[in-house]
Amino acid sequence: MPSILIIEDEQRIRESLATRLSERGYDVQTVARAIDGVEQAVSGDFDVIVLDLGWPDLDGTEALRMIRAVKQVPVVVATARDDEADIISVLDAGADDYVIKPFSADHLAARIRAVLRRTSDASEEGTITVAGLRLDLDAHEATLDDRELDLTARAFDLLAYLANRPGKLISKRELLAEVWRQPYGGADKTVDVHISWLRKELGESAAEPRYIHTRRGVGIRLVDPTT
């Protein structure tokens, strides 16, 4: 039974999520204060952490960084902010995924399942090399020109999916289905956010792409920039 820690200050949300996720077979614990949540997340042995970002006394992103500084446990962030810059900074701080409030327990459960699946899938062996980009699928590590990239599990999976098909234009729908396992939609913005985050980590931009090229309304491809 996967264990989940919910760090959420709003009692109504906390209790409802605990009930609904328990009904789905998760072992759920909750905590109402961010600082206690960080402590439990770090000292406990949870499979997934669900972290609310809005706190009266502590920046949720800061709480995430505190957890990340000591633990690799997957973190799904629940946020009321849908501003892209905020979402990128949360992913940058090490979130594996996010949900925008208000969200349903079903939606959150789907994100949790996806995160758990990625964690258990991480045993595929082999390496992918495209020019200076090298992905170690076994260790889940990526380097660019021998510099180690700082990627979340999802960003790594996205990069691996693209790098495994160099030159091929891949639709966002396919990425959502294959990387996010959401064949029936999900927000295009999710892909956009991860792509801009990957670009930043690769030291490139949409205006000056090297590895990652997008064609608006069609898809994304990863190319060997040296050819």
Under the criterion CB under 5 A, does residue 9 sit at the interface with Ca ion?
A: yes
Under the criterion CB under 5 A, does residue 96 sit at the interface with Ca ion?
A: no
Strand, helix or coil for residue 44: coil
CB of 80 to Ca ion, least distance (A): 8
CB of 17 to Ca ion, least distance (A): 12
Provide the residue type at 105 as one letter: A
For the chain, how long is the longest CA-to-CA vector?
56
Under the criterion CB under 5 A, does residue 81 sit at the interface with Ca ion?
A: no
Under the criterion CB under 5 A, does residue 103 sit at the interface with Ca ion?
A: no
CB half-sphere exposure, 205, CA atoms < 13 A: 2
Residue list 191-210, contact with Ca ion (CB under 5 A): none
Q: What angle do CA 222, 169, 165 make, to 5 degrees?
A: 55
Number of residues in contact with Ca ion, rule: CB under 5 A?
3
Under the criterion CB under 5 A, does residue 54 sit at the interface with Ca ion?
A: yes
Q: How far is CA 79 from CA 52, 53, 84, 108, in A?
A: 6, 5, 12, 12
Under the criterion CB under 5 A, does residue 52 sit at the interface with Ca ion?
A: yes
Taking the least distance from each CB to Ca ion, the nearer of 4 and 51 is: 51
Stretch that binds Ca ion, among 4-12, 83-91, 128-136, 192-200 (CB under 5 A): 4-12
CB of 108 to Ca ion, least distance (A): 15
- Are 157 and 179 contacting, i.e. CB atoms less than 8 angstroms apart? yes
Sheet containing 141-144: order of strands: 127-130, 133-136, 141-144, 147-148
Taking the least distance from each CB to Ca ion, the nearer of 87 and 135 is: 87
**Residue ranges in contact with Ca ion by CB under 5 A:** 9, 52, 54
